[in-house]
Amino acid sequence: MGGDRGTEEELTAQETALYDRQIRVWGVDAQKRLSKAHVLVCGVNGTTIEFCKNIVLAGVGSLSLMDDHIVTEDDLSANFLIPHDVCMHGVSSRAEACCESLKDFNPMVRVAVAIGDPSLIDEGFVDRFDIIVVSCASLKTKLFINDNCRKRSKHIAFYSVECKDSCGEIFVDLQNHSYLQKKPGGEPEQQELTYASLQVWKFDLIFL
């Protein structure tokens, strides 16, 4: 994973003060790992901006937004990150419009616009990230990105999300994921999960 802090480095006083309440939920180690993680979000919509808000507040290492669609009236109706300035409308990309607000939520997180087309991002590009979230993209694009994530030696987590009216869907691919399971009154146990790729999930698995 990329990152600026050594594994032994403690959280700064500023981080401890800001993240106090959530450290009491997931612990210092998780907070440290979070602060070293790099996230890419392809597709800015109501759902992904909720995610952006939450991950930035939580103190992720960096967040990159990829969406060069120009902001329209429609976007303003579902997006609380875009201020009502006239200059945004018709001029900025959705990624640009959201960036500043997100930086504001947590100055300790690097938030930036990623220029590019999700359907064209290559292996080398995905390698910069630990987590990629994709929305408002074609199945073909999602398959392509998921495939690239799986090609790398480091585990890049892949999420695809879509919402429509009162329905929503999340697809998760953590590849081979190992974690520690807390056991009440005992030692934590190592667990392993194997996720199917989007390709397998959509086309190869047979449902009874």
Partner 1 sequence: MASAAAPASSEEAVKAAKVLMVGAGGIGCELLKTLALSGFSDIHVIDLDTIEVSNLNRQFLFRKSHVGQSKAHVARDAILKFRPNINIESHHANVKDAQFNVDFFKQFNVVLNGLDNLDARRHVNRLCLAAEVPLVESGTTGFLGQVTVHVKGKTECYECQPKPIPKSYPVCTITSTPSKFVHCIVWAKELLFAKLFGDKNQDNDLNVHSKDGSSSKLDVFERDVDEDLDQYAQRIYDHVFGYNIEVALENEETWKNRRRPNPVYIRDTLPEAVKQNGSSWDCSNDHEEPSAMASLGLTNPQEIWTLAENSRVLLEAFKLFFEKREKEIGNLVFDKDDQLAVEFVTAAANIRAHSFGIPLHSLFEAKGVAGNIVHAVATTNAIIAGLIVIEAIKVLQDDYKNYRMTYCLEHPTKKLLLMPVEPFEPNPSCYVCSETPLLLDVNTKVTKLKEVIDKIIKSKLGMNLPLVMIGSTLVFEDGDGLEEDEAANYALNLEKVLAELPAPVINGTKLTVEDFQQELSCSINIKHREEFDEEKEPDGMVLSGWSAPVEKQINSNGENKSAASSSSARATDDTVEDPSKPGMKRKLDELLETKENCDASSSAQVVEDDDDCTMLDGNPALIKKKRLQ
Give the contact letters, 47-66, x = binds to partner 1 (CB under 8 A), - = no.
Answer: ---x--xx--xxx-------
The distance from CA 119 to its chain's CA centroid, rounded to whole angstroms, is 17
- Report H helices in 106-182: 123-126, 139-151
Q: What's the min distance (Å) between Cβ of 106 and partner 1?
A: 8
Of 107 and 188, the one with the shorter C-beta distance to partner 1 is 107
Of 51 and 125, the one with the shorter C-beta distance to partner 1 is 51
Q: What's the min distance (Å) between Cβ of 122 and partner 1?
A: 32
Site for partner 1 in 13-32 (CB under 8 A): 16-26, 28
Of 13 and 120, the one with the shorter C-beta distance to partner 1 is 13
> Nearest-5° angle of CA 18, CA 32, CA 127?
120
Q: Centre a 10 Å sphere on the Cβ of residue 134 and count the other Cβ atoms it contains.
A: 24
* Element holding 34 (H helix, E strand): helix 13-35
Phi/psi zone of residue 4: left (φ > 0), alpha (ψ -120 to 50 degrees), beta? alpha
Of 59 and 118, the one with the shorter C-beta distance to partner 1 is 59
Site for partner 1 in 65-124 (CB under 8 A): 76-84, 104-107
**Tokens found for residue 63:** 């967040």
Give residues in contact with partner 1 (CB under 8 A): 10, 16-26, 28, 46, 50, 53-54, 57-59, 76-84, 104-107
